[in-house]
Amino acid sequence: MTNRVFKLPDIGEGVVEGEVVQWHVSVGDKVAEDDALVDVMTDKATVTIPSPHDGEITALHGGVGDMVAVGAALIEFDGDGDSPATEPAEKAAPEPDPAPSPEPAAAPAPAAATAPVAPPPVPSISAPAPLPTVSAPAPSAGGKALASPAVRRRAREAGVDLSAVRGSGPAGRIRHADLDAFIAAGGMVQGAAPVAYSTRRTDVEEIKVVGLRRKIAEAMTLSKRHIPHFSYFEEIDVTELEELRQTLNATRSPEQPKLTYLPFIMLALAKLMPKHPECNAHYDEANGLVRRYGAINLGIATQTDRGLFVPVVKHTEAMDVWQAAAEMQRVSGAARNGTATLDDLTGSTFTITSLGRDGGLGATPIINHPEVAILGVHKAREMPVVHRGEIVVRRIMNVSSSFDHRIVDGANGAALVQSLKRILEHPAMIFM
């Protein structure tokens, strides 16, 4: 048997490092060829690295959340198999190694270096000293009861000893209701038991921010730190659009997808963008360049059980409403079930985000860097409005938008939203 080192292979064009998201093996485990070893996240996707051959794991390099460079040692194991991504541990010894000893026998030492990945609990958090005293609201016989001057005056007038009354307020403070209950019960009931305070919890759960959640955090920080956002809000009357949507859904063929508002909004944006090219663009800050795109590649913000993804519907300008709906369902479905390709997740020029039934009235969406604009779509609702001089019930949908104020002036951002409002309120214009 030979102790071998398995290095992180090249897992994508231009990828130079990956983040360890989840280990599927531990030291001492026996694995077979093609067994899952570890999940590694790159800039755009999570890849499961399989075992190159049979063997027993002797060391793991890197803990969850650690970055591992392509070509760096990832796993050591005993095994007779051969693989281009493995080599004897003796050859890996001359490489820079965090272990203090250069002897080959010390090769497993980096596995021990991964132990501090989960930081030890801080004593002041896991066992706070002052809190137990707070959970004892009942005053001692010789102690002074907590109560306001008004409650004390009432107690004196009623001849009630406040030390006999149990308070339901913070830290056992006696309230008027506690005094009323004590008097009403003839002094036999000590007020309302402060259940909320006697069961106060002091445990703290620490969750390491790794994988997709870390990528989302980095992307949001990048956008908010570098992009001066300005936001713009509008109401859109989608009554006629709703009638058209229902008519098309009622007459669609079995192979055609059910239409929501988003495919219509996608087509409307595709029709409008040639008149608002500054909004369908990327800003390359490092090179001082704005790249305006002819293709309308719309990112669709999609919430999954693994976090937020932005799959892309490409060349929306060449689609009809059914094609746009089908492609949107395909890429968002792939993002949700984890089958989205790198091509599905890259190349957007403008992003749409929708919270669906939880859409609320407004938001301030964060731009998907390096794009310069984003549109937020909110829940449509029936409400009374003035329409053609009369108060009638119409279906109204709010939209929120954000723009990069370095590239898009306020008037230009407002003009895009107002153009979208006009076309959605007269949906026949989408197809003209």
Give, as one character, the DSSP assignment of residue 424.
H
Kindly tell me the sign of the dihedral angle through the C-alpha atoms of 357, 361, 364, 367.
positive
Distances (CA, A) of 84 to 4, 8, 30, 181: 12, 11, 20, 80
- Out of 24, 229, 315, 405, which one is annotated catalytic? 405
Q: Decide if 409 is catalytic.
A: yes
Non-local CB neighbours of 230 within 8 Å, separated by 6+ positions: 402, 403, 405, 410, 413
Residue 331 — left, alpha, or beta (φ > 0 → left; ψ -120 to 50 → alpha)? alpha
Q: Decide if 315 is catalytic.
A: no
Can you tell me the distance from the alpha carbon of 399 to that of 376, in angstroms, rounded to the nearest whole number?
6
Can you tell me the distance from the alpha carbon of 95 to that of 288, in angstroms, rounded to the nearest whole number?
40
Note whether 147 and 173 are within 8 A (CB): yes
Note whether 33 and 83 are within 8 A (CB): no
- Out of 34, 343, 409, 426, which one is annotated catalytic? 409
Note whether 368 and 336 are within 8 A (CB): no
Residue 392 CA, chain-centre distance (Å), reads: 39
Q: Kindly report the number of other CB atoms within 10 A of residue 148's CB atom.
A: 13
In the chain, the amino acid numbered 318 is A
Which residues are identified as catalytic?
Answer: 405, 409
